[in-house]
Amino acid sequence: MIQFTVYGTYDYSCHIREDEISIDVERTSRYLTYRRMCRGESAERTIASEKGSIIINPVEPLNLPKKVTRYLEIHFNPIFVEPETTRQLYLTFPVEIGVFIRAKEDNDLLDVFSPVLPKYSLYGPPDYGRVTRWHESSIYPDVPKTDPLREGVLDLTLVNEGKTWIEVSRAVFVNAGMTIWYGDYVLMSAKMELYSNMVAETKILSTPGKNGMTRSIPAYSARKVSVVEVVPEKGVFLMEFGLGDKIADN
Amino acid sequence: MVTRLQTTNSTLDIAAIVANLKAYDIIAIAVILIIAVIIAKICTTFLKKKLSDRMEKSDLNVLNSIVWWSIILIGIFFASPHFKIDLSGLLVAGGILAVIIGFASQSVVSNFVSGIFLIIERPMKIGDNINIGDITGNVEHIQILSTIVRTFEGIYVRVPNEKVFTSNIKNYVSNVARRFDYKIGISYRDDADRAIMIIRDIIEHEPLALKNPEPLVFVDKLGDSSVDLLIRIWAPSKEWYDLKMSLLVKIKTALEANGVEIPYPQQVVWVQQAKSAERGRGHEDNGR
């Protein structure tokens, strides 16, 4: 059976072909063999399991080519936000594709890949800053059309808490449980409270997606990362090195 | 009435001391010792909270014991007048002993104090890639008297904390990002702008070559044999060396694939032309 949609739950004999992605799970004598091809790169895993399922869903884009940071930075054209107002806009964010294996109520991450070439950056100075996964986005007034295998839609609420106009052209989020939903498109919601041109607070929200959307299994929880590593900032990130292209030297 | 401590025959008439204690003295001693215990408890708890993630447990236990007993001994010292003991004999003997121990344990104390300051100042963490003097490697342990470094050749090196504290420490991964440079010479015949464009494209497609701070590629020098390009790239501190090793090959391959020559050191000598000119002049002279 050949599926033409990638995200979803599959049994142990699945063959998926989509664009430049191919995934095959086959039983070979006593074991299962998982094979994946994407952008000319391949991965193979051997699975010892009798009954279970394969779950493929979008995961937070912080795993490739290796895990070097917990921060996602989205850069966009500058937007001026009126004092003491709340505005909603849509951005895009990169997604990675997580393949999970599930049996006896337990998930584990089997593979992560992406047809998108990742790029990293630095937010802040080299001594106190944060290495970030970098993404360039346009600003959209409505949900933009995206390729769910490459990009998701970020529903961002900007709240200007100050009494002056604030110019924003970047948002940095920490991964302390990025709640990603998928259906016709991939969705994540976030809030950014602006305090000045230099300081803002960001948070990924766990707001449920639209009807019919499914909640993704995040890669970090499947890897059973220690709670101590993920929770300290409670998902809130204080952007203290500027909200625009000009970065403070601290 | 004072009960004299018998230092000469090393006996202590405890019964006599206790017999001479008044209720006021007992209360005073108890209060002082309880205060000392409370202070010791507060100090050791504070140390446990502050240092448990910076020190090994065994070192922390040693430090806590030293702090605990030091405070208790200070408490006993303050309580000693109430014991009605003449400590003059002990003080002389203790003073001499302290001088001897002081000389003998000078370096130990120095290393110990340096270790405390290193733990407080925290110029490096376990796993950091550092250089102390002529030793370069990864920090394995930061102990109370010494720091253990594993060199890149896998050799175990114990560095006394005094040396660590008084040396210049280079911590290669303390900052989240760091820069590395390449110098690449291209032939004078090649288009430098095109070579720069090719190199920029390679860097752009390298995930861990950071977008910000922006990588720089520019003509640095017009050398004897080549136009020297300087390439400056920022990378996450923990990844820079792997990136440095892999990226140079990619740049070389891309330049060569695009016909950009990386020349050997060379010098053009116009020998043939000079000889021809001389020969030409000789012919002219003969003709005359």
CA distance to partner chain B, nearest, from residue A129 (Å): 7
Residues from chain B that touch A96, judged by Cβ atoms under 8 A, are none
Domain with residue B234: its CATH number is 3.30.70.100
- H or E element, residue A227: helix A227-230
Q: Is residue B4 part of a domain?
A: no
Instruction: Report residue A238's pLDDT band, with 50, 70 and 90 as the boundaries.
Output: very high
Instruction: Kindly give the parts of chain B with pLDDT less than 70.
Output: 1-14, 53-54, 56, 58, 85-87, 272-288
Please judge whether B212 and A127 are an interchain contact, meaning their C-beta atoms are less than 8 angstroms apart.
no
Strands (E), chain A: 2-3, 8-10, 15-18, 21-28, 31-38, 41-47, 53-59, 71-81, 86-94, 96-103, 106-113, 120-123, 130-136, 151-160, 166-174, 181-182, 186-194, 200-205, 214-215, 236-239
Interface of chain A toward chain B, CB-CB under 8 angstroms: 64-66, 68-69, 117-123, 126-131, 134, 247
Cβ distance A180 to A126 under 8 Å? Answer: no
The predicted pLDDT at position B17 comes to 72
Partner residue facing B176 (CB), from A64, A119, A130: A130
For A62, the closest chain B residue by CA position comes to B207
Please judge whether B178 and A126 are an interchain contact, meaning their C-beta atoms are less than 8 angstroms apart.
yes
CA–CA separation, B241 and B180 (whole Å): 9
Please judge whether A126 and B205 are an interchain contact, meaning their C-beta atoms are less than 8 angstroms apart.
no
Name the residue ranges covered by the structural domains of chain A: 2-239
Asked if omega into B213 is within 30° of 0 (cis), the reply is yes
Q: Is residue B272 part of a domain?
A: no
Please judge whether A120 and B178 are an interchain contact, meaning their C-beta atoms are less than 8 angstroms apart.
no
Query: pLDDT tens-digit profile of A86-98?
Result: 999 999 999 999 9
Q: Is residue B190 part of a domain?
A: yes
Q: What is the CA radius of gyration of chain B?
A: 36
Same domain, B243 and B216: yes
Domain with residue B33: its CATH number is 1.10.287.1260
For B233, the closest chain A residue by CA position comes to A121
Tokens of B106: 């000078």
SS3 A101: strand
The predicted pLDDT at position B251 comes to 96
Query: pLDDT tens-digit profile of B108-135?
Result: 888 888 888 888 888 888 889 999 989 9
Q: Is residue B36 part of a domain?
A: yes
Residues from chain A that touch B247, judged by Cβ atoms under 8 A, are none
Closest CA to B63 of B161, B156, B205: B161
The predicted pLDDT at position A228 comes to 41
Specify which residues A159 forms β-bridges with. A86, A193
How distant is the alpha carbon of residue B42 from its chain centre? Answer: 31
CA–CA separation, B105 and B97 (whole Å): 12
The predicted pLDDT at position B197 comes to 96
Instruction: Report residue A231's pLDDT band, with 50, 70 and 90 as the boundaries.
Output: very low
A to B CB pairs, distance under 8 Å: 51
Same domain, B203 and B219: yes
Specify which residues B195 forms β-bridges with. none
Q: Which of A138-142, A229-233, B96-100, B282-286 has the lowest mean pLDDT?
A: A229-233
At residue B245, what are phi and psi to the nearest 5 degrees?
-70, -40
User: Mean of the per-residue pLDDT values for chain A?
Assistant: 87
End-to-end, the C-alpha distance of chain A in Å comes to 57
Query: pLDDT tens-digit profile of A7-17?
Result: 999 988 888 88
Same domain, B241 and B164: no
Please judge whether B236 and A130 are an interchain contact, meaning their C-beta atoms are less than 8 angstroms apart.
no
- H or E element, residue B279: helix B271-287
State the pTM of this model.
0.74
Please judge whether A68 and B238 are an interchain contact, meaning their C-beta atoms are less than 8 angstroms apart.
yes
Same domain, B30 and B92: yes
Amino acid type, A80:
F
Same domain, B154 and B220: no
Cα four-point dihedral sign B18, B20, B23, B26: negative
Question: b vs e for B246-277, b when ≥16 Cβ sit within 10 Å of the residue's Cβ?
Answer: ebeeebeebbeeeebeeeeeeeeeeeeeeeee
For A64, the closest chain B residue by CA position comes to B207
Q: Is residue B263 part of a domain?
A: no
Please judge whether A68 and B208 are an interchain contact, meaning their C-beta atoms are less than 8 angstroms apart.
yes
Question: How many distinct structural domains can be found in chain B?
Answer: 3
Q: Report which of residues A49 and B8 the model is more confident about.
A: A49
The predicted pLDDT at position B29 comes to 86
> Is B134 exposed, middle or buried (CB count within 10 Å of its CB: 0-12, 13-18, 19+)?
exposed
Quote the Cα angle for A209-A215-A216, to 5°: 130
Q: Is residue B273 part of a domain?
A: no
The predicted pLDDT at position B2 comes to 42
Please judge whether A122 and B234 are an interchain contact, meaning their C-beta atoms are less than 8 angstroms apart.
yes
Q: What number is the average pLDDT over the span A209-234?
A: 65
Domain with residue B159: its CATH number is 2.30.30.60
Amino acid type, B110:
S
Q: Report which of residues A197 and B229 the model is more confident about.
A: B229
DSSP B165-203: HHS-EEETTSSSEEEEEEEEEE-TTS-HHHHHHHHHHHH
Domain enclosing residue B160, as ranges: 120-171
Instruction: Report residue A154's pLDDT band, with 50, 70 and 90 as the boundaries.
Output: very high
The predicted pLDDT at position B259 comes to 93
CA distance to partner chain B, nearest, from residue A120 (Å): 5
Closest CA to B73 of B36, B99, B21: B36
Closest CA to B6 of B73, B97, B88: B88
The predicted pLDDT at position A80 comes to 94
Same domain, B134 and B148: yes
For A120, the closest chain B residue by CA position comes to B210
Same domain, B103 and B21: yes
Cβ distance B163 to B115 under 8 Å? Answer: no
The predicted pLDDT at position B111 comes to 86
Residues from chain A that touch B204, judged by Cβ atoms under 8 A, are 119
Same domain, B50 and B79: yes
Please judge whether B210 and A121 are an interchain contact, meaning their C-beta atoms are less than 8 angstroms apart.
yes
Question: b vs e for A44-79, b when ≥16 Cβ sit within 10 Å of the residue's Cβ?
Answer: eeebeeeebbbbbbbbbbbbbeeebbbbbbbbbeee
Residues from chain A that touch B212, judged by Cβ atoms under 8 A, are 121-123, 134, 247
CA–CA separation, B130 and B112 (whole Å): 21
